[in-house]
């Protein structure tokens, strides 16, 4: 998936061996955490990039909250989810496609503020779980589509296409990026949440990953080659987990 470096990404800072690193936007993706076993859920929780808020409160002079007690009371991920819902209320009513929706956690969250969500996955078992989730949450604006992302042929066009930790499951990620471009209206946006390169080989067999993460610069250059513009890269500060997420935001020119 090697591609020429995009000129507009040259200012991205070198840090800790990464070729692209910014730390501005906390990004949380709960879909894979829902799908995984408990050990993997712990890894996914670490991806949220939370800081140890409990320890900060535990230093209060009155000693009311300390250590693990405070962490249990003020798990930062809960507030991140509420903030995402609050910010979603400020968005216009968009038509959204979720590529590789899994069990639908992200699709249903998006449905809270979107006009419509088309959630696409080739796993019928995952789609059944997504259907049950949507019904449970009362998300009547979610449409589920069983399809291989490599062969996706939809006539609809969307304001936003999301691919959240989906590309590393695919045989040909650039082809799916190309498909995402075709699905978008002029001025539409693509959000890609993926993992930085890592050496955790066990995910190939246990979780079905085809790629052990992506270089953000190369992936951004792939987006640019497919006609995307205004590409922005966001990377969270490193934590103890080997799985570190990054976000690419791109736009189809008007």
CB 95 within 8 A of CB 115: yes
70 or 197, which is more confident: 197
78 falls within a domain: no
Does residue 182 have a pLDDT over 60? yes
**What is the rounded CA–CA span in Å between residue 30 and residue 6?**
30
Using 50, 70 and 90 to split pLDDT, how confident is the model at 64? very low
CA 33 to centroid of chain Cα atoms: 12
Q: What is the CA radius of gyration of the chain?
A: 19
Q: What are phi and psi of 168, to 5 degrees?
A: -75, -5
Is the pLDDT at 210 greater than 60, yes or no?
yes
Q: Is 171 exposed, middle or buried (0-12, 13-18, 19+ CB in 10 A)?
A: exposed
Read off the pLDDT of residues 134-147 as tens digits, 9 standing for 90 and up: 999 999 999 999 99
Tell me, yes or no, whether 150 lies in a domain.
Answer: yes
Mean pLDDT of 90-107: 95
Percent of the chain with pLDDT over 70: 69
Asked if residue 138 is part of any domain, the answer here is yes
153 or 52, higher pLDDT: 153
Let me know: does 30 contact 243? Beta carbons within 8 Å: no
- Residue 218, domain CATH: 3.40.50.150
Examine residue 64 and state whether it is found in any structural domain, yes or no.
no
CA 107/CA 116 separation, integer angstroms: 10
Unique residue bearing structure tokens 């990464």: 18
Q: Is position 60 within any domain? A: no
Give me the pLDDT at residue 154, please: 94
Residue 31 — pLDDT band, cuts 50, 70, 90?
A: very low
User: Containing domain of residue 246, as a range?
Assistant: 7-52+92-251
Using a cut of 0.85, tell me whether the model's pTM lies above it.
no
Q: For residue 178, what are the CA distances in angstroms to 38, 228, 245? A: 35, 10, 22
Determine, yes or no, domain membership for 146.
Answer: yes
Residue 127 phi/psi, 5-degree rounding, is -70, -35
Indicate the pLDDT class of residue 53, thresholds 50, 70 and 90.
very low
How many domains, in total, are found in the chain?
1
Arithmetic mean of pLDDT over the chain: 78
- Which pLDDT score, from 0 to 100, does residue 218 have? 97
The answer to whether position 74 is within a domain reads no
Q: Answer yes or no: is 82 within a domain.
A: no
Tens of pLDDT, residues 152-167: 999 999 999 999 999 9
Query: Tokens 């791109």 sit at which residue?
Result: 250
d(CA 56, CA 65) in angstroms, rounded, equals 10
C-alpha span between 24 and 46 (Å, rounded): 17
**CB environment 129-159: b (16+ within 10 A), e (fewer):** bbeebbeeeebebbebeeeebeebeeeeebb
Residue 101 CA to residue 171 CA, distance in Å, equals 17
């Amino acid at each position: 998936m090697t591609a020429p470096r995009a000129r507009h990404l040259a200012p991205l800072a070198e840090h800790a061996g990464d070729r692209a690193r910014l730390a501005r936007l906390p990004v949380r993706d709960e879909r894979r955490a829902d799908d995984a076993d408990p050990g993997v859920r712990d890894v996914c929780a670490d991806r949220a990039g939370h800081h140890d808020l409990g320890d900060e409160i535990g230093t209060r002079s009155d000693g009311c909250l300390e250590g693990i007690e405070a962490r249990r009371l003020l798990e930062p991920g809960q507030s991140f989810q509420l903030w995402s819902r609050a910010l979603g209320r400020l968005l216009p009513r968009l038509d959204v496609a979720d590529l590789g929706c899994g069990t639908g956690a992200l699709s249903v969250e998006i449905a809270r503020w979107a006009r419509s969500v088309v959630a696409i996955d080739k796993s019928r078992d995952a789609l059944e779980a997504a259907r049950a989730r949507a019904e449970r949450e009362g998300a009547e604006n979610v449409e589920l589509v069983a399809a291989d992302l490599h062969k996706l042929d939809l006539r609809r066009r969307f304001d936003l296409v999301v691919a959240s930790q989906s590309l590393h499951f695919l045989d040909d990620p650039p082809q799916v990026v190309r498909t995402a471009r075709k699905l978008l209206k002029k001025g539409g946006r693509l959000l890609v949440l993926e993992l930085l390169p890592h050496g955790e080989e066990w995910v190939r067999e246990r979780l079905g990953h085809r790629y052990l993460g992506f270089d953000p610069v190369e992936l951004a250059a792939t987006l640019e080659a497919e006609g995307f513009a205004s590409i922005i890269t966001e990377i969270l500060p490193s934590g103890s987990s080997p799985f570190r997420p990054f976000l690419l935001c791109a736009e189809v020119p008007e």
